[in-house]
Amino acid sequence: MTLLLVYKSLHVFFMIAWFAGIFYLPRLFVYHAMTEEKACSAMLKIMERRLLFFVTPFAILTAVFGVLTIAEYGREWFKHSMWLHYKLTLVILLYIYHGYCFKLLADFKHDRNQRSHKFYRWFNEFPVLLLLAIVLLAILKPAL
C-alpha cells in the first residue's frame, strides 16, 4: 500500500462526508424559509449551525488530502494534467459555496433572511451539478 493510495482514499472519504452535509444544509434552509413558527425556526437554527460546523472540518480535510495527493504525484504531473486545473476551479467554487452557507446561516440566525424557499431549492442543486462535473473530470481525465 502506497502513501498515494492512502491520501486518495482519505480525500474521497472526507469529500463524501462533506457532501452529505452540503447536500442537506440547503434543504434545511428551504424548510427554514417556509416556516413561520418560532419554535420550528429556533430548532432549524440549531440544526443548521450544528450541521455546517460539523461538515466544515470534512471540507478542510478534503483539501488537505487532495493537496497531499497532488504533491505525491509531483509537479510535472500537475503541470500536464489540465483536467485537474478545471477540477480545481470547480472545487474553488464549492469552497465559495460553502463559505456563502456561513453568510446564509448568519442571516437565518439573526432573522434577516430575504430569500424564498424556491431560491434555496435552486441553491441546493448547485453542488450537485458541480460534483457531477468534478467526478467526470476526475474519472475521465479528458485531454483538455
Nearest to 91, CA basis, from 59, 123, 122 = 59
Q: What is the mean pLDDT of the chain?
A: 97
How far, in Å, CA of 124 to CA of 101, rounded?
11
How far, in Å, CA of 13 to CA of 101, rounded?
22
The mean per-residue pLDDT over the stretch 83-89 comes to 97
The answer on pLDDT for 144 being more than 90 is no
Nearest to 74, CA basis, from 13, 4, 12, 134 = 4
- pLDDT tens digits, residue range 67-83? 999 999 999 999 999 99
The mean per-residue pLDDT over the stretch 51-56 comes to 98
How far, in Å, CA of 5 to CA of 72, rounded?
10
**What integer pLDDT is reported at residue 111 of this predicted model?**
96
The mean per-residue pLDDT over the stretch 5-23 comes to 97
- pLDDT tens digits, residue range 97-142? 999 999 999 999 999 999 999 999 999 999 999 999 999 999 999 9
Q: What share of the chain is helix, strand, coil (3-state, %, to 5)?
A: 90, 0, 10
Q: What's this model's pTM, rounded to 2 decimal places?
A: 0.94
Contact 34, 117 (CB under 8 A): yes
